Amino acid sequence: MTVALDTGGADVARPWIEAARPTHPSLIDQAHRVDTMFGIVNVPSSVWIDETGRIVRPPETAYPRKPPFLDRPVPPDASPEVVAQIETLNRLRIDADSYISALRDWVSNGSASRHALTPDDVMRRSRPRPVEEAAAAAHFELGQHLHRTGRPDAAIPHFREAYRLQPDNWTYKRQAWNLLQPGQSPMDVYGSDWLSDVQKIGAENYYPPVDL
């Protein structure tokens, strides 16, 4: 099953879902409840749940295949900005093959799969929620609410505060950047954007390593 983490709701998720024509449940999480529930801080992230409703892997980076932006050559006439973008994307740590192989192993072997974690390991790997991150969730929620109720400018300080409190939550950042009005840029409004933030931490650290 899939869940779209999108403040814009069905309207913004629709083109992708309709193009994919999925046969599995394809749900919409307009309130970003699922992020909070599982501790998801970027997409794509997946969670494994066994037949008894027990989580056997907490959320982790989960590309279903190697994304087309990896290993893209730099065009000879590319601007410095485009070169930086492509080089950064190329350095993201994404290992779709290993992930899918682990997933297939679990599908075949169930709880005997070495990739199905014990409850203790699942909890140990689950993201801690210090007070700063709980407060970030509260600010993000307020920002979303203000945005949804026609007060996008009032939402901005709360999105900004959510970043400050939980800087590695890319879901918050990328969602808020996406909600800006035409003519507004993330750099102007938030003092950051995807490329500058990724370069700051190093592209290799954008997706944490997945310990399968």
Partner 1 sequence: MRGHRRHWKVSKVILESLTIEPAELLRQTGWEIKPEGACKGERCVPLGVATGGEQFNVRTLAALLNMPLVGDDASGLWSLGPEAGGRALESVEMPDLRLPDLNGAIFDVGSLRGSKVLLVAWASW
Handedness of CA 33, 34, 37, 39 (dihedral sign): negative
Answer yes or no: are the C-beta atoms of 61 and 44 closer than 8 Å.
yes
Under the criterion CB under 8 A, does residue 3 sit at the interface with partner 1? yes
Look at strands 2-5 and 26-29 and give their pairing.
parallel
Distance in Å, CB of 82 to partner 1, minimum: 20
Per the structure block, which two tokens stand in for 143? 């920002």
In this complex, which beta carbon is closest to partner 1, that of residue 6 or of residue 197?
6
Under the criterion CB under 8 A, does residue 39 sit at the interface with partner 1? yes
Phi first, then psi: what are they for 27, rounded to 5°?
Answer: -105, 165
In this complex, which beta carbon is closest to partner 1, that of residue 75 or of residue 111?
111
Under the criterion CB under 8 A, does residue 202 sit at the interface with partner 1? no
Q: Which of 24, 21, 18, 30 is nearest to 2 (CA)?
A: 24
Of 85, 88, 169, 171, which one interacts with partner 1 (CB under 8 A)?
Answer: 171
Distance in Å, CB of 65 to partner 1, minimum: 13
In this complex, which beta carbon is closest to partner 1, that of residue 78 or of residue 168?
168
Answer yes or no: are the C-beta atoms of 84 and 203 closer than 8 Å.
no
Of 75, 97, 104, 130, which one interacts with partner 1 (CB under 8 A)?
Answer: 130
Please choose, out of 31-39, 71-79, 87-95, 196-204, the segment that lies near partner 1 by the rule CB under 8 A.
31-39
Three-class secondary structure of residue 67 per DSSP: coil
In this complex, which beta carbon is closest to partner 1, that of residue 74 or of residue 107?
107
Answer yes or no: are the C-beta atoms of 160 and 192 closer than 8 Å.
no
Of 85, 147, 158, 163, which one interacts with partner 1 (CB under 8 A)?
Answer: 158
Under the criterion CB under 8 A, does residue 187 sit at the interface with partner 1? no
Per the structure block, which two tokens stand in for 11? 């309207």
Please choose, out of 57-65, 70-78, 185-193, 201-209, the segment that lies near partner 1 by the rule CB under 8 A.
57-65
Answer yes or no: are the C-beta atoms of 26 and 1 closer than 8 Å.
yes
Under the criterion CB under 8 A, does residue 180 sit at the interface with partner 1? no
Alpha-carbon span 96 to 61, nearest angstrom: 9
Please choose, out of 7-15, 88-96, 183-191, 200-208, the segment that lies near partner 1 by the rule CB under 8 A.
7-15
